[in-house]
Amino acid sequence: MSTNETAVMMAPKKSLLTRLGLDRFSALYLWGAFMVIFGIWKTDTFLSWTSAKLILGENVSIGILALAFLIPFCASTFDLSIGAVMSLSVATMCFLSDEKSRAFNMPAGLAAVITLLVCTTVGVISGFVVVKLKVNSFIATLGIGQVVSAIVLKISFNRQITGTFSPTFEKFGRNQYFGIPVVFYYLLIAGIVIWYIMEHTPVGRFIYATGGNPEAARLAGVKTERMVWGSLIASSFLAGIAGIVFSAKVGLFTSATGPNYLFPAIAAVFFGASQLKGRPNVLGTFIALFALAFGIKGLQLVVGTDSYWVNPMFQGTTLIIAVALASQKGVARMKKRKVQTA
């Protein structure tokens, strides 16, 4: 028996799930199932354009936060501070035009620039701690997130802050074009930009290389530490943008604003990483994000007023499933390599 024949016989058979594409398109199948089930169950409300607009508008900040988590994640780096950074962004925007304290009363554009500078500084600090001090990114960004949250609570006195913005800035977050909330277009633009950078530029390839095999990337001339540091800066910058968009849309800060968006963003990235390409990617993240969003909305409509448990249940279950899918793929790749080297 030839070596090739032996390899074919030893190769693991593809499961039914793999042949059906459930490993790469499970979010699309899930999205379709939600549309059918809840469409039949709650036809008048779930399938209405009003519900669709609500879902698109409500998940914009989560989507931008997911992009913020995605970039360092592609470099095998975690940024768990983005929820706190988004909270800092909203607090700063609203504080600079607080209706109860006119000490600053800045134009929204200037306030946004200052907010982005403040948020980006957090990313610089995170990069320094991870790259120079050699602290694990999970621990470093978790700790920095707590510090940022403490600062936010201090400057806000743990109270609600209402921003009084100009009509122009409010239109920036509350208008609709072609019946779609304008903020959704910001998410699309951000997604297209990040997709292009990650898939079609040397920087994106270097980030993926850093995440795939840091040592091999370093030997190939990739400045891996620079990629990690830069990805954390970009992450905080995007978290700042998420906060600014939220400020324009809602105009209100509470201490739960950013942290409550962190887990849904992480769940979308992890679930999206198992979609399409089998690695973290923008399109997979968006598909996962809105598949979950439509599912959550459908279940909320079914449950009614007692739907406070729906979000954490959905997000937690999704994260477990996403990690399980990733683990199965990792095992399959290891078996394939063993067969090829046999």
Q: How does pLDDT run across 130-163, given as a tens digit for each residue?
A: 999 999 999 999 999 999 999 998 888 778 777 7
Mind listing the pLDDT tens digit for each residue in 73-125?
Answer: 999 999 999 999 999 999 898 888 765 555 567 788 888 999 999 999 999 99
Half-sphere exposure of 214 (CA within 13 A, CB side): 10
**Rounded percentage of the chain residues whose pLDDT exceeds 90:** 48
Q: Which of 296, 301, 326 is nearest to 312 (CA)?
A: 296
Mind listing the pLDDT tens digit for each residue in 174-198?
Answer: 898 888 999 999 999 999 999 999 9
What per-residue confidence (pLDDT) applies to 74?
95
Whole-angstrom Cα distance, residue 61 to residue 57? 9
Q: Cβ distance 59 to 246 under 8 Å?
A: no
N-to-C CA span, the chain = 14
- Over 80: is that where the pLDDT of 218 sits? yes
DSSP letter string, 187-204: HHHHHHHHHHHHHHSHHH
Would you place residue 64 in the very low, low, confident or very high pLDDT band (cuts 50, 70, 90)? very high
**Is-above-0.85 flag for pTM?**
yes
Mind listing the pLDDT tens digit for each residue in 291-308?
Answer: 999 998 888 888 887 777
Q: Cβ distance 105 to 95 under 8 Å?
A: no
